[in-house]
Structure 1
């Protein structure tokens, strides 16, 4: 959404966000249709992907923006997101037979979180696992000094949305007239995004409730659920998966910066 606002410089976007920024690896549209949609675009392209940088072509003409979040906040969001996905519709669009009942529905959030922390898997085969998340972010962290790789933290966006938007505009070399900034910043807030959820949530009927897609939008949910001992267990686990400087940035982005 921030990229869309910077490129079009208006909150009145010319099309739903999913059309302006196709989710390239979502597999809910035939590949040729996605490529045709991109080929027809005449504005600066901004493409969404959930694939880590080591799984996509790296082109010096492209800027890669990697958005990170505290892993436990990400996990809580994933739990609720899973319960909001229409599995039957997803199976129909992708052609893949998926479980008819979301795994998250079988456990309380606390039990699911503890299992997510402890789950040991090949990160390349399960990108939504803790090892998968740290594989993705660790690779991006290792590339952070490359001129066309930008790392953005969700908590920084929440705490200083205007400052982060201005930073991105500068790095993307997009000039924004000063009078336009207040409206663009308002349009990127969680509250405005939630109010216009139908235009911002991926389409095709996969999400059961668009408004619920924007559930909370603030950090710290896991701290409200897990005990001190359980949080210590998380820290021990994640320390084995990532370097200290990356973890410092993920857990306390403002302080690490």
Structure 2
């Protein structure tokens, strides 16, 4: 078995997985930041519990195991006590996770440009008290430049690194994360979803997820559950669904679900900038993966 790569940022450390005891049936939701993590957690919750009504905040039911801003011992104890099928959040790529038999590993991709802009909005929404109480440097949440285009190129041109003194959110790291799943996409334990596909056909993607998790549900039930997991419906339930509500992480829980739209990068990048960006992606990903990242599975048909 290959040695696991260790990923560390100001908010996470993949080495914390070493203390976790897997069970057959566990689900690991591993996504780059702002690519649909909470959405996928909600979809898994609805299928596992066969309801859209949760008995407590989603972040408690499906904790971020390797976050250093939480009490790891308490998270491990919580997961050990759970009797239902467990589904756990992480932002660690697949090559940094223990790969255990009987466990399903799910990744969600998104157009990296949309993910980058969404992350900027999320960083601006972090409550100052959460930064200081969590032991984070206040400068971590500050933009490195006032110019949004300059920030974009800092993000796009940065090299991949498994360790970062900030959040580790760069184009290279996002592509690498998805690529660790892409290269194992034919493994029955691995499933790749895309934000664009979820937006275009949520009932169909929920059906696919049910198949991945070997959960039986009628078409009528899938339609009902999908209707409860639209972006607008989740936004209205931000106080129970947004991550970090227990730690009062956000200035506004509602603004965590800011818009859920795609293509806002069009307002930032002119044709020359798009060409430069496309060239950078080509340095990081093979053509089929690059296309999938920007279109989802529908774009490969």
| Structure 2 length-normalised TM | 0.80
Partners of 1:103 and 1:36 in 2: how far apart? 34
Q: Which residue among 238, 242, 245 is the counterpart of 2:281?
A: 238
Checking the alignment, whether the CA contact within 8 Å between 2:127 and 2:248 is kept in structure 1 is yes
Q: Aligned-pair distance for 1:243?
A: 0.9
SS in 1 for 2:89: coil
Could you tell me which residue of structure 1 aligns to residue 291 of structure 2?
248
Matched, 1:107 2:146: yes
Could you tell me which residue of structure 2 aligns to residue 146 of structure 1?
187
Matched, 1:79 2:120: yes
Q: Which residue among 200, 204, 207 is the counterpart of 2:241?
A: 200
Instruction: Show structure 1 runs of 5+ residues with no match.
Output: none
Could you tell me which residue of structure 2 aligns to residue 123 of structure 1?
161
Checking the alignment, whether the CA contact within 8 Å between 2:160 and 2:176 is kept in structure 1 is no
Alignment of 1:16-27 (within 5 A): 16-27=57-68
Checking the alignment, whether the CA contact within 8 Å between 1:68 and 1:250 is kept in structure 2 is yes
Q: Aligned-pair distance for 1:88?
A: 4.3
SS in 2 for 1:152: strand
Alignment of 1:179-198 (within 5 A): 179-198=220-239
Partners of 1:144 and 1:101 in 2: how far apart? 34
Checking the alignment, whether the CA contact within 8 Å between 1:87 and 1:100 is kept in structure 2 is no
Instruction: Show structure 2 runs of 5+ residues with no match.
Output: 1-41
| Structure 1 length-normalised TM | 0.93
Alignment of 1:32-71 (within 5 A): 32-71=73-112
Could you tell me which residue of structure 1 aligns to residue 137 of structure 2?
98
Aligned residues: 254
SS in 2 for 1:104: coil
Q: Aligned-pair distance for 1:105?
A: 7.4
Q: Aligned-pair distance for 1:74?
A: 0.7
